[in-house]
């Protein structure tokens, strides 16, 4: 018989794979999206192995895990950029309905709160920290069953308190304000300087006085 029909080894022999085949897994990743140190590590590690000997079977998943890690990092970065570039808030309709609050009013308040957290460019007490504490409070209310013991106004008060707890934080301590004689310390007579400022400043925005 002609061809390869008479040669059983032609159909059963495993197809050889090379390191270049594994590198195709990164074909969709743009070079500029991969950090320089990662590219250097990949080049030094796998080029050396390619020149010496074929990689062992048990080593192959390692390269795939590196590829997946890079893809995961790029995916998270894309989500962050998409959320950071959002120009509008998506408010659940049931929230404004239960609170009997116009969506525009709630959106304006939340925007002012975020701007206040970014006022002093605080590396920790910023808008990300506010969102973290707010989400933590929401989780505690919903997962522990506390929300079943509170009415809508009490739940709103709890969440707003978590949201504004560090509003317009200056990035310094109460003692710093007291010792430096800052205007904020003088205003609150050196007592709970930042805590009083957080609540007072947030209420000014909430009352529409600023």
Residue 165 annotated as binding site:
yes
Residue 138 annotated as binding site:
no
Task: Let me know if 169 is a catalytic residue.
Answer: no
Residue 129 annotated as binding site:
yes
DSSP states of the chain: --TTTT-HHHHHSPPP--HHHHHGGGTTS-GGGS-HHHHHHHHHHHHHHHHH-PPPGGGHHHHHHHHHHHHHHHHHHHHHHHHHT--S----HHHHHHHT--HHHHHHHHHHHHHHHTTT--SSSSHHHHHHHHHHHHHHHHHHSGGGGS-HHHHHHHHHHHHHTTTT--SS-HHHHHHHT-HHHHHTTTSSHHHHHHHHHHHHHHTT--
Task: Check 125, 177, 197, 198 and give the catalytic one.
Answer: 125
Residues classed as catalytic: 125
Q: Which residues contribute to the annotated binding site for Zn(2+)?
A: 129, 165-166
Q: Which residues contribute to the annotated binding site?
A: 129, 165-166
């Amino acid at each position: 018989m002609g061809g390869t029909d008479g040669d059983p080894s032609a159909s059963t022999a495993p197809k050889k794979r090379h390191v270049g085949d594994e590198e195709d897994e990164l074909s969709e990743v743009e070079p500029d999206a991969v950090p320089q140190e990662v590219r250097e590590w990949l080049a030094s590690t796998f080029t050396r192995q390619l020149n010496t000997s074929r990689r062992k079977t048990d080593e192959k998943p390692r390269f795939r895990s590196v590829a997946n890690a890079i893809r995961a990092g790029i995916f998270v970065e894309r989500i962050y950029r998409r959320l950071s570039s959002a120009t509008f808030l998506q408010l659940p309709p049931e929230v404004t309905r239960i609170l009997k609050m116009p969506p525009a009013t709630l959106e304006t308040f939340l925007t002012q709160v975020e701007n206040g957290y970014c006022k002093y460019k605080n590396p920790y007490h910023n808008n990300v920290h506010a969102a973290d504490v707010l989400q933590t409070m929401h989780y505690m209310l919903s997962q522990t069953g506390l929300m079943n013991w509170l009415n809508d106004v009490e739940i709103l008060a709890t969440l707003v308190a978590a949201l504004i707890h560090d509003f317009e934080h200056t990035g310094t301590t109460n003692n710093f304000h007291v010792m430096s004689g800052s205007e904020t310390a003088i205003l609150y007579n050196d007592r709970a300087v930042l805590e009083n400022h957080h609540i007072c400043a947030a209420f000014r925005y909430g009352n529409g006085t600023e």
